[in-house]
Structure 1
Amino acid sequence: MGYLEGLFGVSGKTALVTGGGTGIGRMVATALAEGGARVFICSRKLDVVEKTANEINTNLMANNPKAAGSVEAFVGDVGTEEGVVALADAIREQSPNLDILVNNAGITWGEPLGSFPHFAWKRILDVNVTGLFHLTQTLLPELKESGRLEDPARVINLGSVMGSTPIGDGAYSYSASKAAVHHLTRILAKELAKEHITFNGFAPGPFQSNMTAFATDTDEKAAFVGKGVPLGRIGHPDDIAAATLFLCGKGGSYVTGEVIPLDGGIHVATGSNLFG
Protein backbone atom coordinates (compact mmCIF):
# COMPACT_ATOMS: atom_id res chain seq x y z
CA MET A 1 0.00 0.00 0.00
CA GLY A 2 1.39 3.39 -1.00
CA TYR A 3 1.77 6.32 1.35
CA LEU A 4 -1.17 8.33 -0.01
CA GLU A 5 -3.41 5.29 -0.24
CA GLY A 6 -2.58 4.49 3.35
CA LEU A 7 -3.72 7.93 4.47
CA PHE A 8 -6.71 8.48 2.20
CA GLY A 9 -7.72 5.12 0.74
CA VAL A 10 -10.92 3.35 1.77
CA SER A 11 -10.36 -0.06 0.18
CA GLY A 12 -12.43 -2.80 1.75
CA LYS A 13 -14.86 -0.41 3.42
CA THR A 14 -18.61 -0.34 2.91
CA ALA A 15 -20.44 2.97 2.63
CA LEU A 16 -23.98 4.29 2.28
CA VAL A 17 -24.59 7.67 0.65
CA THR A 18 -28.17 8.91 0.78
CA GLY A 19 -29.25 11.10 -2.10
CA GLY A 20 -26.24 9.72 -3.96
CA GLY A 21 -27.58 10.01 -7.48
CA THR A 22 -26.92 13.67 -8.15
CA GLY A 23 -24.98 16.71 -7.00
CA ILE A 24 -22.79 16.50 -3.92
CA GLY A 25 -24.03 13.00 -3.11
CA ARG A 26 -22.76 11.78 -6.46
CA MET A 27 -19.43 13.54 -5.87
CA VAL A 28 -19.07 11.76 -2.51
CA ALA A 29 -20.05 8.38 -3.95
CA THR A 30 -17.58 8.76 -6.81
CA ALA A 31 -14.75 9.64 -4.42
CA LEU A 32 -15.42 6.67 -2.15
CA ALA A 33 -15.64 4.25 -5.08
CA GLU A 34 -12.44 5.65 -6.58
CA GLY A 35 -10.85 5.14 -3.16
CA GLY A 36 -11.79 1.46 -3.20
CA ALA A 37 -15.02 1.29 -1.17
CA ARG A 38 -18.18 -0.66 -1.87
CA VAL A 39 -20.71 2.16 -2.05
CA PHE A 40 -24.49 1.94 -1.74
CA ILE A 41 -26.38 4.96 -3.07
CA CYS A 42 -30.07 5.59 -2.65
CA SER A 43 -32.77 7.98 -3.77
CA ARG A 44 -36.53 8.04 -4.02
CA LYS A 45 -36.03 7.70 -7.79
CA LEU A 46 -34.44 4.33 -8.56
CA ASP A 47 -33.78 5.18 -12.21
CA VAL A 48 -31.63 8.15 -11.17
CA VAL A 49 -29.34 6.21 -8.82
CA GLU A 50 -29.16 3.23 -11.18
CA LYS A 51 -27.97 5.52 -13.97
CA THR A 52 -25.40 7.11 -11.66
CA ALA A 53 -24.15 3.73 -10.42
CA ASN A 54 -23.72 2.48 -13.98
CA GLU A 55 -21.84 5.62 -15.01
CA ILE A 56 -19.48 5.56 -12.03
CA ASN A 57 -18.79 1.82 -12.41
CA THR A 58 -18.15 2.22 -16.15
CA ASN A 59 -15.70 5.06 -15.49
CA LEU A 60 -13.95 3.02 -12.81
CA MET A 61 -13.41 0.14 -15.19
CA ALA A 62 -12.25 2.41 -17.99
CA ASN A 63 -9.89 4.58 -15.96
CA ASN A 64 -8.84 2.36 -13.08
CA PRO A 65 -9.54 -1.31 -13.89
CA LYS A 66 -7.63 -2.48 -10.79
CA ALA A 67 -9.86 -0.44 -8.47
CA ALA A 68 -11.71 -2.53 -5.92
CA GLY A 69 -14.50 0.03 -5.53
CA SER A 70 -18.05 -0.27 -6.83
CA VAL A 71 -21.43 1.44 -6.60
CA GLU A 72 -24.83 -0.21 -6.08
CA ALA A 73 -28.21 1.53 -6.26
CA PHE A 74 -31.28 1.25 -4.02
CA VAL A 75 -34.60 3.00 -3.54
CA GLY A 76 -34.51 4.98 -0.32
CA ASP A 77 -36.74 7.63 1.21
CA VAL A 78 -35.48 9.11 4.48
CA GLY A 79 -38.46 11.46 4.71
CA THR A 80 -40.62 8.92 6.58
CA GLU A 81 -40.06 6.47 9.42
CA GLU A 82 -41.16 3.60 7.19
CA GLY A 83 -38.72 4.69 4.51
CA VAL A 84 -35.82 4.79 6.97
CA VAL A 85 -36.57 1.29 8.24
CA ALA A 86 -36.95 -0.09 4.72
CA LEU A 87 -33.66 1.44 3.61
CA ALA A 88 -31.77 0.09 6.62
CA ASP A 89 -33.24 -3.39 6.02
CA ALA A 90 -32.25 -3.26 2.35
CA ILE A 91 -28.66 -2.40 3.24
CA ARG A 92 -28.49 -5.17 5.84
CA GLU A 93 -29.60 -7.69 3.23
CA GLN A 94 -26.59 -6.75 1.13
CA SER A 95 -23.91 -6.29 3.78
CA PRO A 96 -23.49 -7.27 7.43
CA ASN A 97 -21.33 -4.25 8.16
CA LEU A 98 -21.28 -0.51 7.50
CA ASP A 99 -18.10 1.50 7.86
CA ILE A 100 -19.21 4.85 6.43
CA LEU A 101 -22.56 6.63 6.46
CA VAL A 102 -22.99 9.85 4.50
CA ASN A 103 -26.28 11.58 5.29
CA ASN A 104 -26.52 13.65 2.14
CA ALA A 105 -30.19 13.51 1.18
CA GLY A 106 -31.81 16.91 1.45
CA ILE A 107 -34.49 19.13 -0.02
CA THR A 108 -35.20 22.84 0.05
CA TRP A 109 -37.95 25.41 -0.43
CA GLY A 110 -37.58 29.04 -1.34
CA GLU A 111 -40.15 31.80 -1.03
CA PRO A 112 -40.31 35.37 0.29
CA LEU A 113 -40.69 35.78 4.05
CA GLY A 114 -44.22 37.15 3.86
CA SER A 115 -45.57 34.17 1.94
CA PHE A 116 -43.36 31.33 3.17
CA PRO A 117 -45.78 28.40 3.70
CA HIS A 118 -46.32 26.40 6.87
CA PHE A 119 -46.01 23.01 5.14
CA ALA A 120 -42.56 23.89 3.82
CA TRP A 121 -41.19 23.59 7.35
CA LYS A 122 -42.38 20.07 8.16
CA ARG A 123 -41.34 18.52 4.86
CA ILE A 124 -37.87 20.07 4.85
CA LEU A 125 -37.17 19.16 8.48
CA ASP A 126 -38.58 15.64 8.00
CA VAL A 127 -35.94 14.91 5.36
CA ASN A 128 -33.01 17.12 6.34
CA VAL A 129 -33.05 16.60 10.11
CA THR A 130 -35.48 13.92 11.29
CA GLY A 131 -34.57 11.47 8.54
CA LEU A 132 -30.86 12.05 9.05
CA PHE A 133 -31.17 11.43 12.79
CA HIS A 134 -33.33 8.33 12.55
CA LEU A 135 -31.31 6.68 9.79
CA THR A 136 -28.16 7.18 11.86
CA GLN A 137 -29.95 5.84 14.93
CA THR A 138 -31.22 2.79 13.03
CA LEU A 139 -27.78 1.94 11.61
CA LEU A 140 -25.88 2.47 14.87
CA PRO A 141 -25.46 -1.28 15.52
CA GLU A 142 -23.66 -1.70 12.20
CA LEU A 143 -21.53 1.38 12.74
CA LYS A 144 -20.60 0.31 16.28
CA GLU A 145 -19.63 -3.13 15.00
CA SER A 146 -17.31 -1.59 12.42
CA GLY A 147 -15.70 1.00 14.68
CA ARG A 148 -12.19 0.37 15.99
CA LEU A 149 -9.90 2.41 18.23
CA GLU A 150 -7.42 3.10 15.42
CA ASP A 151 -10.01 3.03 12.63
CA PRO A 152 -13.39 4.39 13.73
CA ALA A 153 -16.59 4.11 11.73
CA ARG A 154 -17.35 7.41 10.01
CA VAL A 155 -20.50 9.50 9.66
CA ILE A 156 -20.56 12.61 7.48
CA ASN A 157 -23.61 14.86 7.63
CA LEU A 158 -24.30 17.35 4.86
CA GLY A 159 -24.93 20.79 6.27
CA SER A 160 -24.58 24.07 4.41
CA VAL A 161 -22.95 27.45 4.60
CA MET A 162 -26.55 28.67 4.98
CA GLY A 163 -26.67 26.81 8.29
CA SER A 164 -23.57 28.49 9.66
CA THR A 165 -23.99 32.08 8.44
CA PRO A 166 -27.11 34.28 8.44
CA ILE A 167 -27.93 33.73 4.77
CA GLY A 168 -31.60 33.07 4.08
CA ASP A 169 -32.18 33.90 0.41
CA GLY A 170 -35.78 32.82 0.93
CA ALA A 171 -34.79 29.30 2.09
CA TYR A 172 -35.75 29.78 5.72
CA SER A 173 -36.60 26.21 6.66
CA TYR A 174 -33.61 24.87 4.72
CA SER A 175 -31.17 27.21 6.49
CA ALA A 176 -32.65 26.36 9.89
CA SER A 177 -32.52 22.65 9.11
CA LYS A 178 -28.84 22.83 8.20
CA ALA A 179 -28.03 24.70 11.42
CA ALA A 180 -29.73 21.82 13.23
CA VAL A 181 -27.62 19.32 11.27
CA HIS A 182 -24.44 21.10 12.37
CA HIS A 183 -25.45 21.01 16.01
CA LEU A 184 -26.60 17.38 15.86
CA THR A 185 -23.25 16.48 14.34
CA ARG A 186 -21.41 17.92 17.33
CA ILE A 187 -23.77 16.30 19.85
CA LEU A 188 -23.45 12.84 18.29
CA ALA A 189 -19.68 13.25 18.00
CA LYS A 190 -19.50 13.86 21.74
CA GLU A 191 -21.86 11.05 22.72
CA LEU A 192 -20.53 8.33 20.41
CA ALA A 193 -16.78 8.92 20.49
CA LYS A 194 -16.51 6.13 23.05
CA GLU A 195 -18.13 3.80 20.52
CA HIS A 196 -15.35 4.54 18.01
CA ILE A 197 -17.57 6.43 15.58
CA THR A 198 -16.61 9.86 14.27
CA PHE A 199 -19.23 12.42 13.29
CA ASN A 200 -18.28 15.30 11.02
CA GLY A 201 -20.07 17.50 8.58
CA PHE A 202 -19.64 19.49 5.41
CA ALA A 203 -20.99 23.04 5.09
CA PRO A 204 -20.76 23.57 1.33
CA GLY A 205 -21.13 26.83 -0.44
CA PRO A 206 -22.27 26.90 -4.08
CA PHE A 207 -21.66 23.75 -6.12
CA GLN A 208 -23.35 22.65 -9.33
CA SER A 209 -26.29 20.43 -8.39
CA ASN A 210 -30.01 20.01 -9.00
CA MET A 211 -30.69 22.13 -5.92
CA THR A 212 -28.67 25.07 -7.26
CA ALA A 213 -29.44 24.55 -10.95
CA PHE A 214 -31.44 27.78 -11.07
CA ALA A 215 -28.17 29.64 -10.47
CA THR A 216 -25.37 27.30 -11.63
CA ASP A 217 -26.66 25.12 -14.49
CA THR A 218 -24.51 26.88 -17.10
CA ASP A 219 -20.85 27.83 -17.02
CA GLU A 220 -21.84 31.47 -17.38
CA LYS A 221 -24.19 31.35 -14.38
CA ALA A 222 -21.63 29.43 -12.33
CA ALA A 223 -18.96 32.02 -13.12
CA PHE A 224 -21.30 34.83 -12.11
CA VAL A 225 -22.09 33.16 -8.77
CA GLY A 226 -18.38 32.48 -8.27
CA LYS A 227 -17.63 36.20 -8.42
CA GLY A 228 -19.50 36.56 -5.14
CA VAL A 229 -17.33 33.95 -3.40
CA PRO A 230 -14.18 35.26 -1.67
CA LEU A 231 -11.98 32.71 -3.47
CA GLY A 232 -13.55 33.66 -6.77
CA ARG A 233 -15.25 30.47 -7.93
CA ILE A 234 -17.91 27.92 -7.07
CA GLY A 235 -16.92 24.53 -5.70
CA HIS A 236 -15.62 21.66 -7.86
CA PRO A 237 -16.23 17.91 -7.43
CA ASP A 238 -12.59 17.47 -6.40
CA ASP A 239 -13.17 19.79 -3.43
CA ILE A 240 -15.82 17.37 -2.13
CA ALA A 241 -13.80 14.30 -3.07
CA ALA A 242 -10.67 15.38 -1.23
CA ALA A 243 -12.56 16.27 1.94
CA THR A 244 -14.47 12.98 1.82
CA LEU A 245 -11.37 10.84 1.48
CA PHE A 246 -9.64 12.79 4.22
CA LEU A 247 -12.44 12.20 6.73
CA CYS A 248 -13.06 8.58 5.73
CA GLY A 249 -9.45 7.46 5.37
CA LYS A 250 -6.82 7.02 8.05
CA GLY A 251 -5.96 10.70 7.78
CA GLY A 252 -9.31 11.62 9.35
CA SER A 253 -9.40 8.99 12.07
CA TYR A 254 -8.61 11.53 14.82
CA VAL A 255 -11.15 14.16 13.76
CA THR A 256 -14.68 14.32 15.14
CA GLY A 257 -17.29 16.98 15.83
CA GLU A 258 -16.15 19.29 13.03
CA VAL A 259 -18.20 20.94 10.31
CA ILE A 260 -15.82 21.67 7.43
CA PRO A 261 -16.70 24.86 5.52
CA LEU A 262 -16.30 23.94 1.85
CA ASP A 263 -17.46 27.38 0.79
CA GLY A 264 -14.54 29.32 -0.65
CA GLY A 265 -14.42 31.60 2.38
CA ILE A 266 -18.07 32.68 2.49
CA HIS A 267 -18.35 31.89 6.20
CA VAL A 268 -15.62 34.40 7.06
CA ALA A 269 -16.78 37.13 4.68
CA THR A 270 -18.00 39.95 6.95
CA GLY A 271 -18.31 42.78 4.48
CA SER A 272 -15.91 45.44 3.28
CA ASN A 273 -12.95 46.60 5.35
CA LEU A 274 -14.15 49.03 7.99
CA PHE A 275 -11.44 51.61 7.24
CA GLY A 276 -11.11 50.97 3.51
Structure 2
Amino acid sequence: MVSNLFQVKDKIILVTGGGSGIGYGISLGFVKNGAKVYICSRDFEKCKKTAEELTKIGPGKCIAIKADLSKLSDIKNLFEEFSKYEQSLDCLVNNSGANWGEELEKYPDQAWDKVMNLNVKAVFNTSVAALPFLRKNATSQDPSRIINIGSIDGIRVPRLETYAYSASKAALHQLTRTLADRLAPEHILVNAIAAGPFMSKMTKQTFTQFEDLVKSSVATGRFGNNEDLEGLLVFLTSRASTYITGAIIPLEGGVLIKSNL
Protein backbone atom coordinates (compact mmCIF):
# COMPACT_ATOMS: atom_id res chain seq x y z
CA MET A 1 0.00 0.00 0.00
CA VAL A 2 1.17 3.53 -0.76
CA SER A 3 0.38 4.63 2.79
CA ASN A 4 2.88 2.11 4.15
CA LEU A 5 5.63 3.65 2.02
CA PHE A 6 5.32 6.90 3.95
CA GLN A 7 5.24 5.34 7.42
CA VAL A 8 7.51 6.84 10.12
CA LYS A 9 5.58 5.63 13.16
CA ASP A 10 7.89 4.55 15.99
CA LYS A 11 11.02 5.71 14.17
CA ILE A 12 13.62 7.39 16.37
CA ILE A 13 14.55 10.87 15.17
CA LEU A 14 17.03 13.45 16.46
CA VAL A 15 16.48 17.06 15.34
CA THR A 16 19.19 19.54 16.27
CA GLY A 17 17.77 22.97 17.02
CA GLY A 18 14.37 21.29 17.09
CA GLY A 19 12.83 23.65 19.61
CA SER A 20 12.13 26.64 17.38
CA GLY A 21 11.82 27.90 13.81
CA ILE A 22 12.19 25.37 11.03
CA GLY A 23 13.37 22.83 13.60
CA TYR A 24 10.06 23.12 15.45
CA GLY A 25 8.13 22.54 12.22
CA ILE A 26 10.25 19.47 11.45
CA SER A 27 9.82 18.05 14.95
CA LEU A 28 6.08 18.72 14.86
CA GLY A 29 5.71 16.85 11.57
CA PHE A 30 7.48 13.77 12.90
CA VAL A 31 5.53 13.76 16.18
CA LYS A 32 2.21 14.10 14.31
CA ASN A 33 3.14 10.98 12.34
CA GLY A 34 3.96 8.89 15.40
CA ALA A 35 7.75 9.16 15.60
CA LYS A 36 9.79 9.42 18.78
CA VAL A 37 11.65 12.70 18.46
CA TYR A 38 14.63 14.02 20.40
CA ILE A 39 15.38 17.73 20.15
CA CYS A 40 18.41 19.62 21.41
CA SER A 41 19.22 23.27 22.01
CA ARG A 42 21.45 25.53 24.08
CA ASP A 43 18.32 26.89 25.78
CA PHE A 44 17.26 23.77 27.65
CA GLU A 45 14.26 25.28 29.43
CA LYS A 46 12.73 26.45 26.16
CA CYS A 47 13.62 23.15 24.51
CA LYS A 48 12.02 21.20 27.35
CA LYS A 49 8.86 23.29 27.15
CA THR A 50 8.65 22.64 23.40
CA ALA A 51 9.13 18.90 23.94
CA GLU A 52 6.27 18.83 26.44
CA GLU A 53 4.05 20.77 24.03
CA LEU A 54 4.80 18.43 21.13
CA THR A 55 4.22 15.33 23.24
CA LYS A 56 0.75 16.63 24.13
CA ILE A 57 0.00 17.01 20.41
CA GLY A 58 1.11 13.41 19.74
CA PRO A 59 0.61 10.65 18.82
CA GLY A 60 4.43 10.50 18.89
CA LYS A 61 6.49 11.85 21.75
CA CYS A 62 9.32 14.35 22.16
CA ILE A 63 12.28 14.47 24.56
CA ALA A 64 14.60 17.44 25.10
CA ILE A 65 18.38 17.28 25.56
CA LYS A 66 20.63 20.27 26.26
CA ALA A 67 23.49 20.82 23.81
CA ASP A 68 25.48 23.68 22.31
CA LEU A 69 26.61 22.14 19.04
CA SER A 70 29.27 24.80 18.47
CA LYS A 71 31.26 22.92 21.15
CA LEU A 72 32.67 19.47 20.38
CA SER A 73 32.38 18.53 24.06
CA ASP A 74 28.63 19.24 23.96
CA ILE A 75 28.21 17.08 20.86
CA LYS A 76 29.85 14.19 22.71
CA ASN A 77 27.67 14.85 25.76
CA LEU A 78 24.57 14.95 23.53
CA PHE A 79 25.10 11.36 22.43
CA GLU A 80 26.11 10.20 25.87
CA GLU A 81 22.76 11.53 27.09
CA PHE A 82 20.95 10.08 24.06
CA SER A 83 22.46 6.65 24.81
CA LYS A 84 20.68 6.66 28.17
CA TYR A 85 17.40 6.52 26.23
CA GLU A 86 18.21 4.73 22.96
CA GLN A 87 20.70 2.33 21.40
CA SER A 88 19.85 3.19 17.79
CA LEU A 89 18.83 6.17 15.65
CA ASP A 90 16.78 6.08 12.46
CA CYS A 91 17.30 9.66 11.33
CA LEU A 92 19.51 12.60 12.28
CA VAL A 93 18.25 15.99 11.11
CA ASN A 94 21.06 18.55 11.19
CA ASN A 95 19.01 21.71 11.49
CA SER A 96 20.91 23.97 13.91
CA GLY A 97 22.38 26.96 12.15
CA ALA A 98 23.36 30.61 12.34
CA ASN A 99 23.20 33.62 10.02
CA TRP A 100 24.92 37.00 9.96
CA GLY A 101 24.13 39.92 7.70
CA GLU A 102 26.38 42.96 7.26
CA GLU A 103 27.68 45.23 4.55
CA LEU A 104 30.66 43.91 2.58
CA GLU A 105 33.35 46.17 3.96
CA LYS A 106 32.00 45.96 7.50
CA TYR A 107 31.59 42.18 7.53
CA PRO A 108 33.28 41.00 10.76
CA ASP A 109 35.76 38.17 11.09
CA GLN A 110 33.81 36.65 13.98
CA ALA A 111 30.84 36.18 11.66
CA TRP A 112 32.82 33.66 9.63
CA ASP A 113 33.91 31.79 12.75
CA LYS A 114 30.40 31.58 14.20
CA VAL A 115 28.53 30.73 11.00
CA MET A 116 31.01 28.27 9.47
CA ASN A 117 31.51 26.54 12.81
CA LEU A 118 27.81 25.88 13.42
CA ASN A 119 26.61 25.46 9.83
CA VAL A 120 29.39 23.19 8.57
CA LYS A 121 31.85 21.89 11.16
CA ALA A 122 29.19 21.12 13.77
CA VAL A 123 27.13 19.23 11.17
CA PHE A 124 30.15 17.09 10.35
CA ASN A 125 30.98 16.44 14.02
CA THR A 126 27.37 15.68 14.93
CA SER A 127 27.01 13.27 12.00
CA VAL A 128 30.20 11.43 12.94
CA ALA A 129 29.12 11.19 16.59
CA ALA A 130 25.76 9.77 15.51
CA LEU A 131 27.20 7.02 13.32
CA PRO A 132 27.28 4.20 15.93
CA PHE A 133 23.55 4.75 16.51
CA LEU A 134 22.70 5.14 12.82
CA ARG A 135 24.58 1.95 11.94
CA LYS A 136 22.80 -0.15 14.55
CA ASN A 137 19.66 -1.09 12.58
CA ALA A 138 20.51 0.14 9.08
CA THR A 139 19.74 -2.27 6.22
CA SER A 140 19.41 -1.96 2.46
CA GLN A 141 15.63 -2.28 2.76
CA ASP A 142 15.37 0.13 5.69
CA PRO A 143 18.36 2.51 5.65
CA SER A 144 19.14 5.06 8.32
CA ARG A 145 19.12 8.72 7.32
CA ILE A 146 21.01 11.95 7.75
CA ILE A 147 19.10 15.00 6.53
CA ASN A 148 20.95 18.32 6.42
CA ILE A 149 19.00 21.56 6.32
CA GLY A 150 20.71 23.64 3.67
CA SER A 151 19.48 26.70 1.82
CA ILE A 152 18.71 28.03 -1.63
CA ASP A 153 21.31 30.68 -0.77
CA GLY A 154 23.86 27.89 -1.10
CA ILE A 155 22.75 27.51 -4.74
CA ARG A 156 21.92 31.04 -5.89
CA VAL A 157 23.47 34.41 -5.12
CA PRO A 158 21.48 35.80 -2.17
CA ARG A 159 19.82 39.21 -2.41
CA LEU A 160 20.96 40.15 1.10
CA GLU A 161 24.56 40.52 2.31
CA THR A 162 24.94 37.23 4.18
CA TYR A 163 28.40 36.24 2.94
CA ALA A 164 29.30 33.61 5.53
CA TYR A 165 25.80 32.09 5.51
CA SER A 166 25.58 31.51 1.76
CA ALA A 167 29.13 30.16 1.65
CA SER A 168 28.42 27.84 4.57
CA LYS A 169 25.29 26.42 2.96
CA ALA A 170 27.11 25.76 -0.32
CA ALA A 171 29.73 23.93 1.74
CA LEU A 172 27.02 21.99 3.55
CA HIS A 173 25.54 20.84 0.25
CA GLN A 174 28.91 19.53 -0.86
CA LEU A 175 29.49 17.89 2.53
CA THR A 176 26.12 16.17 2.05
CA ARG A 177 27.26 14.65 -1.26
CA THR A 178 30.60 13.58 0.19
CA LEU A 179 29.01 11.90 3.22
CA ALA A 180 26.39 10.27 1.00
CA ASP A 181 29.10 8.63 -1.09
CA ARG A 182 31.05 7.47 1.98
CA LEU A 183 28.06 6.12 3.92
CA ALA A 184 25.94 4.52 1.18
CA PRO A 185 27.71 1.13 1.55
CA GLU A 186 26.72 1.19 5.23
CA HIS A 187 23.04 1.74 4.34
CA ILE A 188 22.98 5.32 5.59
CA LEU A 189 21.39 7.78 3.18
CA VAL A 190 22.44 11.43 3.31
CA ASN A 191 20.39 14.18 1.68
CA ALA A 192 19.98 17.93 2.08
CA ILE A 193 17.02 20.26 1.83
CA ALA A 194 17.76 23.60 0.18
CA ALA A 195 15.21 25.58 2.14
CA GLY A 196 13.70 28.80 0.87
CA PRO A 197 12.00 31.52 2.94
CA PHE A 198 10.51 30.11 6.14
CA MET A 199 9.62 32.51 8.95
CA SER A 200 11.67 31.60 12.03
CA LYS A 201 13.44 33.20 14.97
CA MET A 202 16.61 33.49 12.89
CA THR A 203 14.87 35.06 9.88
CA LYS A 204 12.03 37.02 11.51
CA GLN A 205 13.82 40.36 11.80
CA THR A 206 15.11 40.27 8.22
CA PHE A 207 11.93 38.90 6.66
CA THR A 208 9.73 41.38 8.53
CA GLN A 209 11.89 44.27 7.37
CA PHE A 210 12.07 43.03 3.77
CA GLU A 211 8.78 41.05 3.58
CA ASP A 212 7.63 42.44 0.23
CA LEU A 213 11.07 41.92 -1.33
CA VAL A 214 11.30 38.34 -0.04
CA LYS A 215 7.79 37.36 -1.16
CA SER A 216 8.35 38.93 -4.58
CA SER A 217 11.27 36.55 -5.06
CA VAL A 218 9.05 33.46 -4.50
CA ALA A 219 7.06 32.21 -7.49
CA THR A 220 4.26 30.95 -5.22
CA GLY A 221 4.21 34.29 -3.37
CA ARG A 222 4.37 33.00 0.19
CA PHE A 223 6.64 31.80 2.98
CA GLY A 224 7.02 28.07 3.62
CA ASN A 225 4.99 26.51 6.45
CA ASN A 226 5.06 23.50 8.76
CA GLU A 227 3.10 21.24 6.40
CA ASP A 228 5.63 21.92 3.65
CA LEU A 229 8.34 20.68 6.01
CA GLU A 230 6.28 17.71 7.21
CA GLY A 231 5.62 16.38 3.72
CA LEU A 232 9.24 16.38 2.59
CA LEU A 233 10.80 15.24 5.87
CA VAL A 234 8.39 12.30 6.24
CA PHE A 235 9.12 11.31 2.64
CA LEU A 236 12.90 11.45 3.15
CA THR A 237 12.68 9.34 6.31
CA SER A 238 10.27 6.71 5.01
CA ARG A 239 10.60 3.68 2.72
CA ALA A 240 9.41 5.86 -0.16
CA SER A 241 12.90 7.41 -0.42
CA THR A 242 15.21 4.42 0.01
CA TYR A 243 16.70 4.96 -3.48
CA ILE A 244 17.62 8.61 -2.92
CA THR A 245 20.97 9.75 -1.52
CA GLY A 246 23.31 12.65 -2.14
CA ALA A 247 20.41 14.83 -3.31
CA ILE A 248 20.02 18.55 -2.65
CA ILE A 249 16.25 19.00 -2.75
CA PRO A 250 14.83 22.52 -3.13
CA LEU A 251 11.94 23.38 -0.80
CA GLU A 252 11.54 26.98 -1.77
CA GLY A 253 8.27 27.77 -3.54
CA GLY A 254 9.92 28.49 -6.88
CA VAL A 255 12.63 30.96 -5.80
CA LEU A 256 15.16 29.31 -8.08
CA ILE A 257 13.03 29.51 -11.20
CA LYS A 258 12.19 33.11 -10.33
CA SER A 259 15.92 33.85 -10.06
CA ASN A 260 16.46 32.53 -13.58
CA LEU A 261 13.77 34.61 -15.28
Q: Normalized against structure 1, the TM-score is what?
A: 0.90
Instruction: Note the aligned Cα RMSD (angstroms).
Output: 1.6
Preserved CA contact (<8 Å) 2:75 2:125: yes
Once the two structures are superposed, residues 20-50 of structure 1 have per-residue CA deviations (whole angstroms, 9 ceiling, x without a partner) of 0111111111111112111000000011211
Is 2:204 the partner of 1:213? yes
The CA distance in 1 between the partners of 2:7 and 2:186, in whole Å, is 22
> 2:142 touches 2:242 (CA, 8 Å); kept in 1?
yes
Task: Report the CA distance shift for 1:31/1:195 in structure 2 as closer, same or farther (over 3 A).
Answer: same
- Of 153, 159, 166, which aligns to 2:157? 166
Structure 2 residue 119 is the aligned partner of structure 1 residue 121 = no
Q: 2:183 aligns with which of 192, 198, 205?
A: 192
CA contact (8 A) 2:70 2:122 kept: yes
User: What is the aligned residue count?
Assistant: 261
Is the partner of 1:71 in helix, strand or coil?
Answer: strand
Give the 5 Å matches for 1:123-272. 123-167=114-158, 169-216=160-207, 225-272=214-261
Give 1:223 shift: 6.4
Please state how far the C-alpha of 1:105 moved relative to its aligned partner: 0.3
Q: Provide the C-alpha distance between the structure 2 equivalents of 1:216 and 1:124, rounded to a whole number of angstroms.
A: 19
Is 2:10 the partner of 1:17?
no
Aligned match of 1:64: none
Gap regions ≥5 residues in structure 2: none
Q: Distance in 1 between matches of 2:160 and 2:83?
A: 40
CA distance in structure 2 between the partners assigned to 1:228 and 1:15 by the alignment: 33
Match of 2:32 among 11, 21, 34: 34
Distance in 1 between the 2:30 and 2:200 partners?
19
The 3-state SS of whatever aligns with 1:269 is helix
1:128-167 superposed Cα distances (whole Å, 9 cap, x missing partner): 1111001101111111112111010011001001111111
Matches within 5 A, 1:44-59: 44-59=42-57
1:216 Cα offset (Å): 4.0
Which amino acid is 1:130 matched to? K
Question: What code does the residue aligned with 1:238 have?
Answer: E
Q: Percent identity?
A: 38
Contact 1:109 / 1:171 at 8 angstroms: preserved in 2? yes
Q: Is the 8 A contact 1:161 1:204 kept in 2?
A: yes
Q: 2: distance between equivalents of 1:127 and 1:271?
A: 30
Q: What's the secondary structure of 1:229's corresponding residue?
A: coil
Task: Structure 1: state its 5+ residue gaps.
Answer: 61-66
Change in Cα spacing, 1:209 to 1:262, as seen in structure 2 (3 Å) is same
Task: Look up the SS of the partner of 1:109 in the other structure.
Answer: coil
1:80/1:126 contact within 8 Å kept: no
Q: Normalising by structure 2, report the TM-score.
A: 0.95
Q: CA deviation at 1:107?
A: 0.7
The CA deviation at 1:227 is: 2.9
